[in-house]
Amino acid sequence: MSLDTPWALPITALAEATRAGRLSPVDLLDAYLDRIAALDGRYHAYVHLSQAARQAAEDAQREIAAGGWRGPLHGIPIAVKDNYTTADMPTRAGSALADADHPLRDGAAVARLRAAGAVLIGKTRMHEFAWGMETPPARNPWDDARTPGGSSGGSGAAVAAGLAAAALGSDTGGSIRIPAALCGAVGLKPTFGLIGRSGIIPHSWSLDTAGPLASSVADAAILVAAMAGPDSDDPAASGRTCDDFEAALAAGAGGMRVGVCRNHFFEALQPDVEAAVERQIERLAAAGADIVEFEIAELAHGLGAIFAIELSSSTAYHAGRIEAGTTAQMQPDVQLLVEMGRLVTGPDYIQAERFRRRLCERFAEAFEAVDVVVGPTTPLTAWRSGETSVELGGRTESALAASWRFTYPWNLIGAPAISIPCDLDRQGLPIGLQIAGAPFDEASVIRCAAALEAANGFPPRAPAA
């Protein structure tokens, strides 16, 4: 890879080139805009391009030339999911509703990216109000007949096709990691509360998590470190900042205690996915990691708990629209889910929260014996756009239920989890490996992910035309 195709380089390489003056932020922005013009008519990753991006790139170029380099994001084009409010771009959370416009202001994560010198290039397409796993009409750059996943599908497609250096997503039950897995990108869901959520349109207040999709583990770590910190407008914000992840990125997997939870996370898989993940576990063992197998029986009941919490939260947020009857103007699948929350009773919700607490306790016990837990991100690779059901393990399952089966447990317990590409299936589609850690132990997650990324040598982006 060379500076002739800067869109194919990770942020770490772009930062080195821009700081040294070998690549200007303005030329870098133009390279991405040219690629968007050439390819986004096919992939539909963006809903809006920023009119302020060129001025931001010019400012970054002038600052860097004057010795005012702010860090690795300075002058780097980053895309933003359409549920993050921004001061210079509209925010509609993927909806065509008349009342879907949100204030022109930067939320905490966006403000921190700007402070780090990032150039916000545009808003990415998402499934309406962060429901669903399709993100129509976005397409997967590995095969444009297939879905990029959801709800951050536009962000996944943008990163995979080289239409942004990285992109922001949001993750309530897997909406960063699922598009990352299906599109062959890296998706990092940090610990709940590590990144402030002010300015992010709510989906489920106790589950929503901000985070990045990127082309490498190091890039994802850079973005999380830049966005972490206090947020006075988010009562769930921890106020913590991140240490530099440089040591974790270089440490290797030797001596790590790697957990493999054999129940739930290894049930009803596509054979290629199962084989690829088993090879990754073998690779960690060969690198000196201690593989620890265990089971958590409570996982069998997790889907009901997260559905009760998520459905009731979404219904509460959209209560005014339900009363006014405007939910009929939503996409049909979204309308159904938004209105279904009315069927969740108060006792149902309390029982779901009780189960959630029990699951937190069980995983806390597990993390006394292991540093990370590894398994598939999704049980399948990208399915064809418009398919609502899939065949797995000899049974028919809804695509929605299948796609987030392995991701939602980490949302329930608020733990950090990353998806990295680890192989291709026999159709040439990416397979995602998920690595999770104890709350606020992003360092262990990043350490394990970086070690496997280095060993795999997997191409970070799709072979887009």
- Could you count the other beta carbons within 10 Å of the beta carbon of residue 263? 13
| Residue 170 annotated among the catalytic residues of the structure | no
One-letter amino acid at 397 equals E
| Beta pairing partners, 168 | 212
DSSP string for residues in 19-52: HTTSS-HHHHHHHHHHHHHHHHHHH--EEEE-SS
- Taken in order 367, 372, 375, 381, is the CA torsion positive or negative? positive
The encoded tokens of residue 226 equal: 């830049």
| Token pair 């049974």: residue | 395
Question: How many whole angstroms separate alpha carbon 340 and alpha carbon 89?
Answer: 32
Report the greatest alpha carbon distance in the chain: 63
Question: How many whole angstroms separate alpha carbon 2 and alpha carbon 6?
Answer: 7
- Residue of 50, 95, 152, 175 with catalytic role: 175
Tell me how many helices (H) and strands (E) the chain has. Answer: 16, 13
One-letter amino acid at 313 equals S
CB of 414 closer than 8 Å to CB of 385: no
- Residue of 81, 198, 204, 419 with catalytic role: 81
CB of 399 closer than 8 Å to CB of 133: yes
One-letter amino acid at 327 equals T
Question: How many whole angstroms separate alpha carbon 78 and alpha carbon 220?
Answer: 12
- Residue of 24, 50, 95, 151 with catalytic role: 151
Question: How many whole angstroms separate alpha carbon 340 and alpha carbon 106?
Answer: 32
| Beta pairing partners, 80 | 123
One-letter amino acid at 257 equals R
| Token pair 């933003």: residue | 80
| Residue 81 annotated among the catalytic residues of the structure | yes
- Taking CA atoms, 432 is separated from 28, 185, 198, in Å, by 29, 8, 30
The encoded tokens of residue 67 equal: 């010795």
CB of 241 closer than 8 Å to CB of 353: no
| Residue 189 annotated among the catalytic residues of the structure | no
What are the residue ranges of helices labelled H in 265-405? 271-286, 302-317, 319-324, 332-340, 346-366, 399-403
Pairing of strands 46-49, 119-124: antiparallel
Distance of CA 339 to the CA centre of its chain: 26
| Beta pairing partners, 293 | 260
Catalytic site positions: 81, 151, 175
